[in-house]
Structures are given as C-alpha cells and as structure tokens.
C-alpha cells in the first residue's frame, strides 16, 4: 500500500481536468466498459464533450440539476460526464425509490430534466420536480421523450474545484433524505486517497457491481481516472454469477459490502473461487472472521476503512497497517476525534461519536442542499459530526460500533426509518408506527416495525406488506410486524426506540419469511 501522490494542482481539482489529462496521457488505453460499450480515455473525454452538448441543446447548463433513475447503464455515466464537462449537477436517484421518498427527492432538487429507465416511469408519473422527462431504453410515449443522443462537441466550461458535480441523497435516517452537495474537488480527493489505499495502477481493471447512484461506485470511476486504470461496471450483485462476471471483466480490483462477503463465503466452493485475477477489494465494515476467511478462500485481500458521502477516505490502512475488525487509523490529511454528547473528547477506549476534519477545505462535501440548519448542525467549527458511534484505542485504530441515530442497514442499503413509518402510517388502518433494526442472520439488519391500529380497525400484517410494496424499495419492506395497543413515548411525545430495539421479536411478532404463499402465518 502506498500513499496517494497528488496529480492535480489546487485550481485543477475537477473531474473535467482528469478527463482531459487522461485523454492526453492514456488516449488509446481502455478507460470504461459499461452496458456493452467500451471506451478509451480519448473516447471518454470526447463522450463528455458531446454529453455536455446534449445537455446544452436541452437548455441545461452550469448549476442546473439533472436527475437520473436507472440501474447500472451507460446513460448514468454519460450524464455524469456531461455534468463534469458543463458544470451541471447530477442527481442520481436510487432506482428502488418509491412513493413519498421519491417524491421528496424530485421536489427537493428541482431538476431541469429527469432520465428514467423503461419500466420505472410509472413510479415518477404525476410527481412534481422535473421540467422534462427522458425515457432510457424506450421510444417517445406521451410527455416522455426518448433519451437524447450525443450533441455537438463543446469545449469544457470554466468549472472550478468548489463547483458541485453531484447531489447525492442520503438515507434520511431520522427524517427526510438530505441531498449532499459534492464538489468536484471532493471527487478528486476521493480518487487520490483510495488509489493509495488499494495501490491502484494503470494496468488495473476496476470492477464494480455496486449501484452508480451511490458514492462508492461513482468514486471508483474517479479512482480509475486518477491512475489511468480501466473501470468496468456490471449489473447488480448476484452471488451465483459474481465470480463469473469478475472473470469476464478480467478484473484485478473490486468493491464489496459486508453482506456480500458473508453471502459469497456461504456458497459452496467452486472452480472460479481462484480462477480470477482480483488481488484486492475495498470492503468496509467486514468482520475479522469474514475478512480472514475471504482471503484464505478466494485469495483476495480486503481493505477496510471509513468514508461517507459527506466526507472522504478519512480512516484506513495508514502505512499499510490494518487490523481485522477495525477501520484503521486517520489517513494523512485528516484528523479524528471521538466525542461525547456535548462534543467533548472522550478517553481512548471509551465509545463516542466520530468527528472528522480535513486539511483541504474541499475534501468534504459543501453541506446539505437547501438545509442550512442541518448543515450547521453537522459541520461545526471545521469538524464534521458523522453520527457514527466508534471507539479508538491508544494506537489510533478506530472501530465502528453503530449509528447514533435510527438508521437501518440492509443488503448494503441505508433505510430511513422515517420513510418506512410514513408509508405505514398512510395505511387507513394504522394510527402510529415505528421502524427499528433487528439483527439479520446474514449480518446487518432486518426491518422490524411496530404498528398501532386506528380505533375500530384491525391490522393484518400480510395485507399491510402488500400495501407497502409499491411504495417502498424492496430492501426496505419490513420483515417483522408486531401490532401494539400503544407505542412507548418519551415525556415530549417522541417514540422510545431504544425500548423497542431492546424488545425485539417475540411470540406475537409476524415474520414475512415464515409466511406461506397464501399469506397464512406460520408459527415460529
């Protein structure tokens, strides 16, 4: 492992600069493979210039938002390239978004255009927010226009390091999802930092099956641009086809989440376990046993660390040192503190909230879109308050414990308990609802909800889940439902979620995975 070496001067920290540098330095070298397309570095820069022309023809320029809701397809990267070149701002929307959560994101960011994949257009029908809607992979249908082709080749706009490249919506762990304003410089720092973590080189092939509407995959692309590697985007994760796709991509580097590691380890050994070239994978929050077992079985070294949409690669393998089960130590250019509820530092070995500082002012996000109060609450005196509960030892190693708030994490996705509760409470028979995490057999969480019926009504769990299906992402659907007469409340009327988490499941809890096809409850 090496430390990243800066490749850009302070005024050149833009993704457009990386694209131009790549075209000059690695013009004929493979840059990008996605959705059946293969582009060299020169062709990728040209695609950016023509995508900017496409946006300009649609009246979209610097500062305008362009939303896109699709699985991993070429179009989302075309829009990213066009925004980087023109100064427009990409808003990738989780393709599984539904109902109130989706309506909030689109209304909040106010995009000039929304590109939506065929099959998903029904979920955005009638929602406010976009001036025009482009249909990806389909013909014109009513007010929907087909996704436009390349436009005229434009020179790069005068984009600066502080100019936003993307607004990435977080899970909204205790309320509505917040749009994180990510400037160009933050992306370039992400690229350089993780290039150092993974020791990436120009002859590497970086493969991801993680969604391009999350920061992990978007930043992996910038890592490739930083060091001249090739970036390959695959379809969503499939345990049965993962290694087959890795071999097809000829990958040397990949990106995993904790549950992916445990799912792959749980499969029967196969011929492809070692028939690949992957040497290293970025895999945050992996247990010590899984990390060791993965390397022994598949020959792939897992690198842990800490990074958030709002921050950067702040904690990781400093000086190459890692400790299974620990995120690592503060990387060069970043400072780490662990504080109590009052913001006072706690002694090493004591749990507290992780707060982070970057030496470079644009290495972190600029704040939350349209939320000055939330921005001021999270960024205090140059420190970002992460909401993560951690412990640090006397050698500086930091271990993650949990979120300080009510996030639920399932299958690598952060789920907003608030959004789940809003959907549940929109059911005509539900008076109140609370969603909390429940430990899953695969690691991370299952969604456990408690509901209180309206007076004179009854709540049937199977029917309630059917009600939720068109309004929630599949990964956010509750697994467990328990009906209560009332929810435990604090003196000021807030739900005592600590009490509900401790309560967990019991004989009265309905389990969706123990239900027959006809919806009858199978006793546990």
Q: What is the DSSP string of 210-252?
A: S-TTSHHHHHHHHHHHHHT-EEEE--S--TTTHHHHHHHHT-S
Could you tell me if 166 and 92 are in contact, meaning their C-beta atoms sit under 8 angstroms apart? yes
Q: How far apart are CA 70 and CA 303, in angstroms?
A: 29
Buried b vs exposed e over 118-132: b needs ≥16 C-beta within 10 Å? eebbebbeebebbee
Q: How far, in Å, are 58, 115, 272, 304, 408 from residue 64 at the CA level?
A: 11, 14, 46, 36, 32
- Tokens in use for 387? 């909401």
DSSP state of 174: S
Q: What is the pLDDT of residue 408?
A: 81
The CA distance from 386 to 378, in Å, is 7
Residue ranges of the chain that CATH labels 2.30.38.10? 322-403
CATH 3.30.300.30-classified regions of the chain:
408-514
Q: Which residues pair with 497 in a beta bridge?
A: none
- What's residue 244's pLDDT? 98
Position 130 scores a pLDDT of: 80
Residues 322-403, CATH architecture: Roll (2.30)
Task: Give the pLDDT score at 215.
Answer: 94
Task: Measure CA 488 to chain center.
Answer: 32
Cβ contacts of residue 433 below 8 Å, gap of 6+? 420, 421, 424, 425, 449, 450, 451, 452
The beta strand positions in 289-359, using DSSP E, are 301-303, 315-316, 329-330, 334-339, 352-358
CATH topology of domain 10-236: Rossmann fold (3.40.50)
**What is the greatest pairwise CA distance in the chain?**
72
Q: Is 365 helix (H, G, I), strand (E, B) or coil?
A: coil
Enter the tokens of residue 461. 């769990």
Say if domain 408-514 classifies as CATH 3.40.50.620.
no
d(Cα 75, Cα 86) in Å, to the nearest integer? 16
Instruction: List the one residue out of 216, 207, 200, 286 whose CA is nearest residue 254.
Output: 207
Question: What's the token pair of residue 373?
Answer: 């109060």
Q: What is the pTM of this model?
A: 0.83
Distances (CA, A) of 146 to 51, 137, 139, 143, 410: 15, 8, 5, 10, 34
Query: Which residues in the chain come in under a pLDDT of 70?
Result: 1-6, 171-175, 258, 402-403, 405-407, 490-494, 516-524
pLDDT at 290: 83
d(CA 480, CA 499): 16
């Amino acid at each position: 492992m090496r430390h990243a070496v800066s490749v850009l001067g302070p005024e050149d920290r833009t993704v457009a600069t990386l694209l131009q540098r790549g075209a000059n330095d690695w013009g004929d070298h493979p840059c990008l493979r996605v959705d059946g397309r293969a582009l060299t570095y020169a062709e990728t820069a040209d695609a950016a210039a023509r995508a900017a022309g496409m946006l300009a023809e649609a009246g979209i320029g610097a500062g305008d938002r362009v939303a896109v809701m699709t699985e991993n397809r070429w179009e989302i990267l075309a829009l990213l390239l066009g925004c980087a070149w023109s100064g427009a701002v990409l808003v990738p929307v989780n393709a599984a978004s539904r109902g109130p959560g989706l309506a909030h994101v689109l209304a909040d960011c106010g995009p000039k255009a929304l590109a939506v994949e065929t099959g998903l257009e029904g979920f955005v029908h009638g929602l406010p927010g976009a001036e025009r809607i482009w249909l990806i992979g389909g013909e014109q249908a009513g007010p929907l226009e087909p996704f436009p082709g390349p436009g005229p080749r434009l020179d790069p706009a005068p984009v600066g390091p502080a100019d936003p490249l993307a607004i990435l919506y977080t899970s909204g762990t205790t309320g509505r999802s917040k749009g994180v304003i990510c400037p160009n410089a933050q992306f370039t720092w992400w690229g350089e930092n993780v290039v150092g973590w993974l020791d990436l080189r120009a002859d590497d092939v970086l493969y991801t099956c993680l969604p391009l509407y999350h920061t992990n995959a978007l930043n992996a692309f910038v890592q490739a641009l930083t060091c001249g590697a090739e970036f390959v985007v695959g379809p969503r994760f499939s345990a049965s086809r993962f290694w087959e796709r890795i071999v097809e991509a000829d990958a040397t580097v990949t990106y995993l989440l904790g549950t992916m590691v445990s799912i792959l380890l749980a499969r029967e050994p196969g011929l492809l376990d070692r028939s690949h070239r992957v040497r290293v994978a970025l895999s945050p929050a992996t247990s010590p046993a899984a990390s060791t077992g993965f390397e022994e079985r598949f020959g792939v070294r897992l690198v842990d660390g800490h990074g958030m949409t709002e921050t950067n690669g702040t904690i990781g393998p400093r000086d190459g040192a890692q400790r299974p089960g620990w995120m690592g130590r503060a990387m060069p250019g970043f400072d780490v503190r662990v504080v109590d509820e009052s913001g006072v530092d706690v002694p090493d070995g004591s749990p507290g909230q992780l707060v982070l500082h970057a030496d470079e002012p644009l290495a972190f996000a600029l704040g939350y879109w349209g939320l000055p109060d939330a921005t001021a609450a999270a960024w205090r005196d140059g420190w970002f308050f992460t909401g993560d509960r951690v412990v640090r030892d006397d050698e500086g190693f930091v271990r993650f414990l949990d979120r300080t708030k009510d996030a639920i994490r399932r299958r690598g996705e952060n789920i907003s308990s608030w959004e789940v509760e809003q959907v549940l409470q929109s059911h005509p028979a539900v008076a109140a609802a609370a969603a909390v995490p429940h430990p899953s057999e695969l690691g991370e969480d299952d969604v456990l909800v408690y509901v209180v019926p309206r007076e004179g009504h009854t709540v049937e769990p199977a029917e309630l889940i059917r009600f939720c299906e068109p309004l929630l992402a599949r990964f956010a659907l509750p697994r467990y439902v328990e009906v209560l007469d009332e929810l435990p409340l604090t003196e000021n009327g807030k739900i005592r979620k600590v009490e509900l988490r401790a309560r967990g499941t019991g004989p009265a809890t309905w389990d969706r995975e123990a239900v027959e096809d006809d919806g009858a409850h199978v006793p546990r």
